[in-house]
Amino acid sequence: MRDAEGATTMTISRRHFLKALGIGGAASALAACAQMPGERTRGAHVVVVGGGSGGATAAKYLRRFDPDLRVTLVEPNATYHTCYGSNWVLGGIRQMDGIVQTYGTLRDIHGVNVIQDTVTGIDADARKVTLAGGQTLDYDRLVVSPGIDFNWEAAAHGTSANTVEQIPHAWKAGPQTALLRRQLEAMPDGGVFVMVAPPNPFRCPPGPYERASMVAHYFKTHKPRSKVLILDVKERFSKQGLFMAGWKENYGDMIEWVSANDGGMVQSINPTQKIAVSDGGLNRFNADVLNYIPPQKAGQVAHDAGLTNESGWCPVNQVTFESSIHPGIHVIGDASIAGAMPKSGHSANSQGKLVAAAIVNTLKGRDPVAPSMVNTCYSLITPDWGISVAAVYRFDDGSIKGVEGAGGVSPADADRNFRMLEANYTRGWYDSITTDIWG
């Protein structure tokens, strides 16, 4: 924390100066009394839209980097279920209440004004945010961290926002996660779980494959005659070698991955009969539980605010994450186009810190900080078998790039003990990053 850092340098020298100049606690108290609640007498006002990994991090670190800033976080829900960890719920190794986060600490300890409401409009010119409850918020800087929404126009025929109860996506954690878990629990032994994996780019690149692993873990322990079938529109996926070796080692032939070229490119789905069809009707896959993960785009609020381009995602300055379309608005997390960084909770966390630093410095007329970001995506293949991919990011030659020679995936030839250590670190990472964001 800044105050801790300052304890040995700035704060002491400041105290000496203020003492020497006759400015003390009494004057400060008077000044505080003179302020009307909500009056704009102190720092600038930054509004953050979205209380997920990116937005909550930004709100907390804005207050940490500059305790005089007024920070308002707008989030529609009272609690937040992290997508990371939600596959563990599907695997039966964690309960729903083990992936839920709340906003009390941000409000009570970090001084963030948390408003539970939905944004209905963003006026980039007037610098105003309007909320469904009727409130209007003026901002000096706006951070938009809306996560993802589904691109149903590009989705398989037969699917829509209305079919998610029959064939859950569970790609936004919460009720969808619980629903898919219930379907898995209700499935008879010997059944087939079919997952249709999304096209790039999408939230959490290793996520579908960790999910397949966790469902297989549940089947192996409870329904050993069952199968996991992944139908993919892609030819390769994140940590592929590690996943496939881990599957073989732990689950034999329970998990089957079908690439696009091998007939995995699903074109239509019958949600009632739970049938996925590929290759113009050549292949029909019957599922007992069908998990359709649709193509994705930036969260709807970003589209409504005109922050997206033709790709469906938000172009941003790669140093400050300020929108290339609307000045004064920064977009972070899954919704943003962030060079080599994957759409992950850890990326969003790292971007939240960067944008907080960029805003604090900009408001003070200082130069933005040179980007320094990291990402580690851990995945569990079994509760005792973890794998990871890591990278360190810098701004280089106009874009965000992984530092050459750094990062990469877990070693292919690691022993069981190494995998177990990484499984422990996977859970440790969850505890630490969620504390860093919401704690």
Partner 1 sequence: MKYTKLAAVALTATLGGLMVSQSALAEVTRGELMAQTCMACHGSVGTGPDATIPSLSRGFPRDLMIQNMRAFRDGTRAATVMDRHATGYTDEEIQLLADYFDARR
Short-list 72, 294, 76, 268, CA closest to 168 = 294
Strand pairing report for 227-231 and 255-258:
parallel
Q: What are phi and psi of 382, to 5 degrees?
A: -135, 175
Is residue 17 at the binding interface for partner 1, with CB under 8 A as the rule? yes
Please name the residue that has the structure tokens 């963030």: 112
> Of the ranges 111-119, 248-256, 289-297, 406-414, which one interacts with partner 1 (CB under 8 A)?
406-414
Q: Return the number of other C-beta atoms located less than 10 Å from residue 2's C-beta.
A: 15
Q: How far from 235 is each of 223, 232, 252, CA to CA, in Å? A: 29, 8, 22
Pairing type for strands 128-131 and 136-138 reads antiparallel
Q: Which two tokens stand for residue 288?
A: 């007992």
40 binds partner 1 (CB under 8 A): no
- Indicate the SS3 state at residue 353: helix
Q: Which of 372, 438, 195 is nearest to 293 (CA)?
A: 195
Asked if 31 interacts with partner 1 (CB under 8 A), we say: yes
Residue with smaller CB distance to partner 1, 182 or 364: 364
Q: Which is nearer to partner 1, 256 or 436 (CB)?
A: 436
Tell me which stretch binds partner 1 (CB under 8 A): 21-29, 153-161, 186-194, 197-205.
21-29
Q: Mark residues 278-317: x for contact with partner 1 by CB under 8 A, - for none.
A: ----------------------------------------
Task: Report the nearest approach of partner 1 to the CB of residue 167 (Å).
Answer: 34
380 forms bridges with which residues in the sheet? 386
**What's the CA gap between 124 and 302, in Å, rounded?**
12
Indicate whether 100 belongs to the interface with partner 1 (CB under 8 A): no
Residue 428: how many other CB atoms lie within 10 Å: 11
Residues 318-377 that bind partner 1 (CB under 8 A): 346, 349-350, 353-354, 356-357, 360-361, 364, 366, 369-370, 372-374, 376
Q: List the interface residues with partner 1, window 60-89 (CB under 8 A).
A: 61, 65-68
DSSP H helices, 48-102, are: 53-65, 86-90
Considering the rule CB under 8 A, would residue 398 count as an interface residue with partner 1? no
Among 175, 286, 390, 396, binds partner 1 (CB under 8 A): 390
Query: Which residues are at the interface with partner 1 (CB under 8 A)?
Result: 1-2, 4-6, 8-11, 13-14, 17-18, 21-23, 27-28, 31, 42-43, 61, 65-68, 346, 349-350, 353-354, 356-357, 360-361, 364, 366, 369-370, 372-374, 376, 388, 390-392, 402-403, 405-408, 410, 418, 421-422, 424-425, 427-429, 431-433, 435-436, 439
